[in-house]
């Protein structure tokens, strides 16, 4: 893409989570999908997009298996004049893992995309939509899907009430979006947003589930582009089944996004 030539983009991959809810007993990025660790799919998707001049991967400290995966893909990418892949130790929360990777980004980089390793099947078109919007002047841009379920907010009930929670509201569904990654940012803006989080308590820090939240807190506009159902986040065993089906099912060729 022309835009990525002008912009110098680093892609951060956060792969330092433990995968408690998936329950495989190993970090989620190591869990096999279609016979290969999830991180391999995530990195291959980024390489295929062609947008990155550098990839910074945050992995659990001392995870030699994930470090080895990054090393072999790095050698492959170098052979094909592809981006440099660097590895950093992640932190105890997603936001800390992002911060660790931001510290390793090469000088001269102007924009950064933050991607969850837990979204291994993100189509290249989503990367391109995010980069196009950054090239058009957005300081922050995120991919999203319309929400299909009715979503309600709830509050806990008092002892003696007939159920554990009670509905407190129903936001209008037409305005709701489920947010995915890669989330794209002007690098200076994202660094400023992360500095803004420096004084937060541990509980507040743990509640930062995406980077756009921090940019919203700065009061900067965050733009939205269309995401993809293929970009699902693998959180539970059911998600893994769905991803396996997407890769191996008889309908797989028809699911490639145009």
Binding-site ranges for ligand CTP (CB under 6 A): 14-21, 28-29, 58, 90-94, 97, 116-118, 233, 235
How far apart are alpha carbons 169 and 159 in whole angstroms?
A: 21
Pairing between β-strand 153-156 and β-strand 223-226 as defined by DSSP bridges: unpaired
The encoded tokens of residue 100 equal 């660790």
Least distance from ligand CTP to the Cβ atom of residue 158, Å: 30
Q: Tell me the residue nearest to ligand CTP as measured from the CB.
A: 17
Write out 144-171 in H/E/C secondary structure: EEECCCCCCEEEECCCCCCCCEEEEECC
Q: Which is nearer to ligand CTP, 19 or 83 (CB)?
A: 19
Least distance from ligand CTP to the Cβ atom of residue 60, Å: 8
Partner whose binding site includes residue 116, from Mg ion, ligand CTP, none (CB under 5 to 8 Å by kind) = ligand CTP
Least distance from ligand CTP to the Cβ atom of residue 117, Å: 4
Write out 197-208 in H/E/C secondary structure: CCCCCHHHHHCC
How far apart are alpha carbons 110 and 227 in whole angstroms?
A: 23
Q: Which is nearer to ligand CTP, 28 or 129 (CB)?
A: 28
Partner whose binding site includes residue 118, from Mg ion, ligand CTP, none (CB under 5 to 8 Å by kind) = ligand CTP
Taking every pair of Cα atoms in the chain, the longest distance, rounded to a whole number of angstroms, is: 67
Partner whose binding site includes residue 125, from ligand CTP, Mg ion, none (CB under 5 to 8 Å by kind) = none
Q: Which is nearer to ligand CTP, 58 or 111 (CB)?
A: 58
Q: Which is nearer to ligand CTP, 7 or 90 (CB)?
A: 90
- Stretches 15-23, 53-61, 72-80, 246-254: which one binds Mg ion (CB under 5 A)? 15-23
Q: According to DSSP H, which parts of 112-220 are helical?
A: 124-135, 187-196, 202-206, 212-218
How far apart are alpha carbons 31 and 25 in whole angstroms?
A: 9
The encoded tokens of residue 225 equal 């582009």
């Amino acid at each position: 893409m022309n835009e990525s030539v002008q912009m110098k983009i680093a892609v951060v991959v956060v792969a330092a989570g433990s995968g408690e809810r998936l329950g495989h007993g190993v970090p989620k990025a190591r869990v096999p999908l279609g016979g290969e660790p999830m991180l391999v799919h995530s990195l291959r998707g980024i390489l295929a997009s062609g947008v990155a001049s550098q990839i910074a991967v945050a992995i659990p400290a001392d995870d030699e298996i994930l470090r080895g995966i990054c090393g072999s893909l790095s050698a492959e990418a170098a052979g094909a004049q592809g981006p440099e892949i660097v590895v950093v130790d992640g932190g105890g929360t997603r936001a800390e893992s992002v911060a660790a990777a931001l510290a390793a980004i090469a000088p001269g980089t102007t924009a950064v995309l933050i991607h969850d390793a837990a979204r291994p099947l993100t189509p290249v078109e989503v990367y391109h939509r995010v980069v196009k919007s950054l090239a058009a002047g957005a300081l922050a841009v995120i991919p999203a899907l319309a929400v299909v379920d009715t979503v309600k907010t709830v509050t806990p009930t008092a002892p003696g009430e007939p159920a554990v929670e009670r509905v407190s509201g129903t936001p209008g569904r037409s305005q709701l979006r489920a947010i995915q990654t890669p989330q794209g940012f002007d690098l200076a803006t994202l660094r400023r947003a992360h500095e803004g989080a420096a004084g937060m308590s541990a509980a507040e820090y743990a509640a930062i589930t995406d980077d756009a939240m921090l940019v919203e807190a700065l009061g900067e506009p965050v733009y939205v582009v269309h995401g993809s159902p293929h970009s699902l986040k693998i959180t539970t065993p059911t998600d893994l089944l769905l991803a396996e089906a997407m890769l191996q099912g008889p309908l797989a060729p028809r699911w490639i996004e145009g």
